[in-house]
Structure 1
Amino acid sequence: MSQEKLEACFGDWKERETVAESMIPLIGRLYRNNNVITSIYGRPIINRSVIGILKAHRFVRQVADHELSVNNTYPILKMLDEMELGHAHIDIGKMAIKYEKQGGSQSLEEFLRAELADIVGKRGEENGGASETKDVVLYGFGRIGRLLARILIEKAGGGANLRLRAIVVRKGKAENDLEKRASLLRRDSVHGSFQGTITVDEENAAIIANGNYVQVIYSDAPENVDYTQHGIDNAIVIDNTGVWRDEAGLSRHLQCKGVSRVILTAPGKGEIKNIVFGINNQLITDEDKILSAASCTTNAITPVLKAVNDEFGIIDGHVETVHSYTNDQNLIDNYHKGSRRGRSAPLNMVITETGAAKAVAKALPELAGKLTGNAIRVPTPNVSMAILNLNLNKATSVEGINSYLRDISLNSDLHKQIDFTNSPEVVSTDFVGSRHAGIVDAQATIVNGNRVVLYVWYDNEAGYSAQVIRVVNQMAGVKHNLYPNSMN
């Protein structure tokens, strides 16, 4: 390669870095001043590094058959910053591609003003969402609880959103209980370090994370807490302990002063609505006081199953879950009430049951009785896979079903639930931190007439936690209008 070519490649890289650096303050200002959340084909770019922004642009090539440059998106951000926008979620990647497709029939400003007409000049006004923050309490602070805390703290910057006010835990045996809990939030062996600063207020039993003052309340029972003593009122309690899963148990939270609603991060029993966001969240009403966010596996597979059923029809099928081990298994062989789960989790693949296949019917009744399911726990700490073995009403091909699911992941109401990858080299750790409910692996798809096998990855911690937050947002009346409305 010539020296001229080498210099040109490096020069192009430096130029793109410079543009990406210029985007960061615009992204931050839109978020903090206007509560405008920006993304690139569903990838959030708030609080991202220069490299993170460049990688988000590069990702578009995988899924949209388009190159996307920072030179396409920077002018959009710059113009958005000048429009005094009301709060919204704007995908600047899709906006750039849509503008390119219209072939220069409008100036960029004319195009953006037409696309965003509902929110231009409406900064600070209530627009499709809550006008003030909504108090949230985490009851329990385990794996899911701490990830929920990270997401809530990350998303607090724009205002008019959910605000984490307290966590409720049992008092530990260590004298430095508060510092230990803060440390678990600060450092995570799977998800990495907390993005920000955390300090501990020992005197007042609180954790301060990125300016969010989070009260730590010690209690042995839900009904024993008076949240109003801590300035918390009309709060949504997210119970992530899994101890109480029926209405009688979860209603104990509603006996507390300062609590208005409860959501369970596990499948609910009895008549409790099991909500998979994107599928049946329209069932949430103002009268609902207790809801369930179902399970991580149910959230991962139901959106894909709905998409497939809508287009091809599902006669029947089997779901096999290859699931990372969880905290209820043993590190070494020891007694466990469950079959096989007493054997060492890091050393064994463990066949166990899953209710996810049957639970799909609670969110998607048209599939009732059509699916069976089983699970294998495997020696990885996070990221799982669901293998969907389906018999369809209509025959298709690998290209046909992959193309369809790719389009669903980009241009449908399920774009936050279904992601799509077409790389032949991806493995489970590549999906750590994914906030999609599930990711279709196109390279693994098998089709034989009307018989289809789909492989769906999912971060059973982060992806599920993101789905929980989406349900809580709806319960709280927090909604961001999404732009562009379509790619047509």
Structure 2
Amino acid sequence: MSADKHLQSWQERFEMAEAMQPLLGKLYRNQGVEVMIYGKPLLNASTIEIIKAHRLVRRHVGEKLRLRESFPFVQALSKLAVKQCRVDIGKLAVNYWRDHTDVSEIESYMAKELADAIDHADDVAPRDVVLYGFGRIGRLLARLLIERTGRSNKLRLRAIVLRGGKKGDLEKRASLLRRDSVHGPFNGSVEVDEDNNAIIANGTYIQVIYANSPDEVDYTKYDISDALIVDNTGIWKDEAGLGLHLKSPGASKVLLTAPAKGAIKNIVYGVNEGDITAEDIIVSAASCTTNAITPVLKAVNDKYGIENGHVETIHSYTNDQNLIDNYHTADRRGRSAPLNMVITETGAAKAVAKALPELAGKLTGNAIRVPTPNVSMAIISMNLNAETSKDELNEYLKDTALQSPLQNQIDYTDSTEIVSSDLVGSRYAGVIDSQATIAEGKRAILYVWYDNEFGYSCQVVGVMQTMLGLTTLSLPA
């Protein structure tokens, strides 16, 4: 292919991706339809991201999906009365082109494949969400909730609760939402309403409430009712502490974005969210590390069985460490985080058993905090009940990441060049680095990357949806 033909091909793909964008936006905003390509969400995707999503199809099926082949499916979808569902046009298009050679039957094919979602009853009322705390996880959750803004959105961010603020606090909070040193600028517009103590982000009106205790707020004063309170502070971790939220008028359920103590259910979305019942009013989304390793451990245990193992976490430093050497109540954490590797404890290995009881007592764990601001790695060393090899184990994990019910939690890379900064913004709970896999006989070691901020926040949103009964039909099955 000549240089001109390469450029012409790129131009055609770019223009096709641009033509998709308004259709994708309208489908979500007006009908609640999220469009994906083999699990890759296209909501608010740029033209380049749409093109990249098409290129990734080769990983799944061994062949290209061209934009000119998928675009008719987006057009056909926009003509159907499909509501409140996720539609994978990548899978639909690949399946169609295997048996057809022209576009004449696409609309009838789509109508048949998406019959369960056509005129789907939209009888689930939107639910109010309050973020209690607005640190690293709180702000990323805000970004994820705001990107879903639209008439059909069921998770509505109504307020954030902070400790009593000083003069200028509101603008500083807005600025932290607007700009992020790790995750980049906010995708849109952030304004401040000083008179009403609110932040307006992409049209989402977010009331800012100041309080020093979870039971001090009357949410009904702000027209907030039956709300899910997402506690990002990490201060209260047991039923007595988290239960204080439920004393505030307008609050109905609480989700903790940290490991919980006592009998509170620790949920890893994709693994045990089915354990959540309508009666559960306080739930934990476990930790970022537990979310990263549990889906992988489940996949391995399901096929090979795990006799025992050890998890070593190479974890980016966090806000509970000191920037420079100073007093800290915890061992070693008082030493400068940007200058030292710091050995510390992690309860993630033991916490796995709360989501995956069959591994109770089989895992140990430790952690090393390292001088990077985000993206961590779990090194999982296991003794298995059945023999395997590096190639066999990788092939199984690749198939798990692409085709299984865990495909939204586990990603897989075979790159020989990938490093931690490449995983910033990953929406997966964990990413298997296949080049580092070690397996021989019944012994296996896996290296799992994870964005301990953004990937974890995506998992938290899944738990939020489950707690509120906002499950979404995914097609094709």
Give the one of 383, 408, 423 matched to 1:416: 408
1:400 corresponds to which of 392, 406, 425? 392
Deviation of the 1:103 alpha carbon: 5.2
| 1:16 maps to 2:16 | no
1:143-191 deviation per Cα after TM superposition (whole angstroms, max 9, x unaligned)? 0000010101111225241000000001233x11100000000000000
CA distance in 2, matches of 1:74, 1:443: 35
Kept in 2: contact 1:131–1:160 (CA 8 A): no
Structure 1 residue matching 2:148: 3-state secondary structure: helix
Pick one of 136, 140, 143 that aligns with 1:143. 136
Contact in 2 for aligned 1:63/1:420 (Cα 8 Å): no
Give me the whole-angstrom Cα distance separating, in 2, the residues matched to 1:44 and 1:423: 22
Deviates more, 1:19-28 or 1:152-161: 152-161
Hey, what's the Cα distance between the residues in 2 that align with 1:374 and 1:185?
A: 32
Amino acid paired to 1:154? E
Q: Does 1:354 align with 2:343?
A: no
Separation (CA, whole Å) in 2 of partners of 1:346 and 1:62: 37
Unaligned runs of 5+ in 1: none
What is the match of residue 210 of structure 1?
Answer: 202
- CA distance in 1 between partners of 2:435 and 2:91 (Å): 24
Separation in structure 2 between the aligned mates of residue 484 and residue 353 of structure 1, nearest angstrom: 43
> Match for 1:428 among 395, 403, 420?
420
Q: Is the 8 A contact 2:54 2:67 kept in 1?
A: yes
Asked if the contact 1:62–1:422 (Cα under 8 Å) also holds between the matched residues in 2, the reply is no
User: Which structure 2 segments of 5+ residues have no match?
Assistant: none
1:192 shift after superposition: 0.5
Match of 1:55 among 44, 52, 68: 52
Q: 2:446 aligns with which of 454, 471, 476?
A: 454
Partner residue in 2 for 1:185: 177
Which region of structure 1 is more displaced relative to structure 2, 401-410 or 239-248? Answer: 401-410
Q: Does 1:71 align with 2:43?
A: no
Residue in 1 aligned with 2:86? 89
Q: Distance in 1 between matches of 2:154 and 2:184?
A: 25
Q: Return the offset for 1:93.
A: 1.6
Contact 2:216 2:248 in 1 (8 A): yes
CA distance in structure 2 between the aligned counterparts of 1:402 and 1:165, rounded to whole angstroms? 44
Which residue of structure 2 lines up, in the alignment, with residue 225 of structure 1? 217
Distance 1:251 1:108 in 2: 53
1:63, distance to aligned residue in structure 2 (A): 4.6
Query: For the residues of structure 2 that align with 1:446 and 1:72, how far apart are their CA atoms?
Result: 39
> Is the aligned partner of 1:107 residue 2:105?
yes
Separation in structure 2 between the aligned mates of residue 312 and residue 269 of structure 1, nearest angstrom: 31
Aligned to 2:152: 159
Q: Quote the Cα distance in structure 1 between the aligned partners of 2:93 and 2:428.
A: 23
In 2, Cα distance between equivalents of 1:100 and 1:344: 57
State the alpha-carbon separation in 2 of the partners of residues 73 and 462 from structure 1. 29
2:124 to 124, 131, 142: 131
Aligned partners of 2:358, 2:96: CA distance in 1, in Å?
A: 39
Identity %: 60
**TM-score for the superposition, normalised by structure 1:** 0.95
Deviation, 1:438, is 0.6
Q: Could you say which residue in structure 1 is the equivalent of 2:317?
A: 325
Superposed displacement of residue 60, structure 1? 2.5
Query: Which residue is equivalent to 2:367?
Result: 375
Q: Secondary structure at the match of 2:321?
A: coil
What is the SS of the residue equivalent to 2:270?
coil
Question: In 2, Cα distance between the equivalents of 1:449 and 1:459?
Answer: 31
- 1:375-408 C-alpha deviation (Å, 9 max, x unpaired): 1101100000101111111111222111111111
Matched residue SS, 2:439: strand
Q: Choose 223-232 or 402-411, whichever is displaced more.
A: 402-411
Aligned-residue offset at 1:132:
2.1
Q: Residue 109 of structure 1: CA displacement?
A: 2.6
Contact 2:237 2:261 in 1 (8 A): yes
| Matching residue within 31, 41, 44 for 1:44 | 41
**2-side partners of 1:63 and 1:374: how far apart?**
35
- Measured in 2, the distance between the counterparts of 1:375 and 1:219 equals 34
1:246, distance to aligned residue in structure 2 (A): 0.2
Q: CA deviation at 1:100?
A: 2.9
* 1:200-225 deviations in Å (ceiling 9; x for gaps): 00000000011110000000111110
Q: Map Cα deviations across residues 258-282 of structure 1 (whole Å, 9 max, x no partner).
A: 0000010000000101111111111
**8 A Cα contact 2:117 2:473, kept in partner:** no
The residue type equivalent to 1:455 in the other structure is: Y
Report the Cα distance in structure 1 between the residues aligned to 2:349 and 2:315, rounded to whole angstroms: 14
Farther-moved stretch of structure 1 (253-262 vs 410-419) = 410-419
Aligned-CA RMSD value: 1.4
The superposition leaves residues 418-439 of structure 1 with CA deviations (integer Å, 9 ceiling, x where unpaired) of: 1111111111111111111111
- The Cα of 1:235 is off from its aligned counterpart by 0.2
Further displaced range: 457-466 or 59-68: 59-68
Residues 282-291 or 400-409, more deviating: 400-409
Distance (whole Å) between structure 2 residues aligned to residue 41 and residue 66 of structure 1 = 13
Do the aligned partners of 2:29 and 2:149 also contact (CA within 8 Å) in 1? no
Q: 1:132 touches 1:160 (CA, 8 Å); kept in 2?
A: no
Deviations 1:322-372 (A, max 9, x none): 000000001111111111111111011111111000000000000001111
TM-score (norm 2): 0.97
